[in-house]
Amino acid sequence: MAVARPKEPPRKPVVVPEGHAQALHRHPGARLVLFLDGCLRERAIAGAETCRAGDFVIRPAWFGHDALAVRGGARYVNLPLSDDAALSFFVQFGWSARRGRVRLSLGEIDELLADPHAGDAILLHSETQPYARHDADDLAAAAARLRRPEDAPDMAQEAERCGVPPWELTRRFARAFGLTPTKYRMAARAEAALKLIAESDLSLAGIAAQAGYADQSHLTRGLRIETGKTPAALRRELAL
């Protein structure tokens, strides 16, 4: 099964000015991103990374993440990645984003940008690791509870745990994670469903139940909102 990806990934470096932010979003194809300059902080549902020159991240199709360029902005490039290399990687590590690091001179980077097999070569010769978990504070604990597939926790109780009024919890949570608690839970549910779709042979009804949706129809509506596609179409695209 081919891993969906853009047919011609752009190799021209992307420049992101300091302070520029992107809300949580998803791409329809697997991506390998190499950072050339500056510093960019990327948050996923259950983890976060700060990327600098020489770092790279690889994400499966439809993996949710946001971004903020800090300390002088950032410059990165999307490297070409073959279907075979992407599929092999995600079969090994599962439907999840990972990060790694390469050490290249400016001349080597220029050669890399011209190489149509650059992404494959990086994956072949570089070690990767999962995104770091969010810091273990009160907000991270609240986020972990929101990611559980059971019924959503009462936000008044969460606010009491954190020692703040509910409105203050919502404000602080949105600042820390880029989403309100309600939208974070919706995105986390979709993330759990996408992982199950990619990695398991559960029925769609079973995936709905495990990911915290009320039923299969609820799953379909949720994934259409997140990706524009049905669970069946996503299974054909993501199956590992």
Each residue of 136-180: pLDDT tens digit? 578 888 888 888 887 666 778 888 877 888 888 889 889 888 899
Which residue would you say has higher pLDDT here, 208 or 173? 208
Domains and CATH numbers, the chain: 14-133 (2.60.120.10), 138-238 (1.10.10.60)
Whole-number pLDDT of residue 10: 45
Each residue of 56-97: pLDDT tens digit? 999 999 999 999 999 889 999 999 899 999 999 999 999 999
The string of DSSP codes covering the chain is: -PPP--SS---SPEEE-TT-EEEEE--SS-EEEEEEEEEEEEEESSEEEEEETTEEEEE-TT--EEEEEEEEEEEEEEEP--HHHHHHHHHHH-SS-EEEE----HHHHHHHHH-TTHHHHHHHH--EEEPEEPPSSHHHHHHHHHTSSSSPPPHHHHHHHHTS-HHHHHHHHHHHHSS-HHHHHHHHHHHHHHHHHHH----HHHHHHHHT-SSHHHHHHHHHHHHSS-HHHHHHHH--
Considering the chain, what percentage of its residues have pLDDT values greater than 90? 60
Whole-number pLDDT of residue 110: 75
Each residue of 88-117: pLDDT tens digit? 999 999 999 999 998 777 677 777 777 888
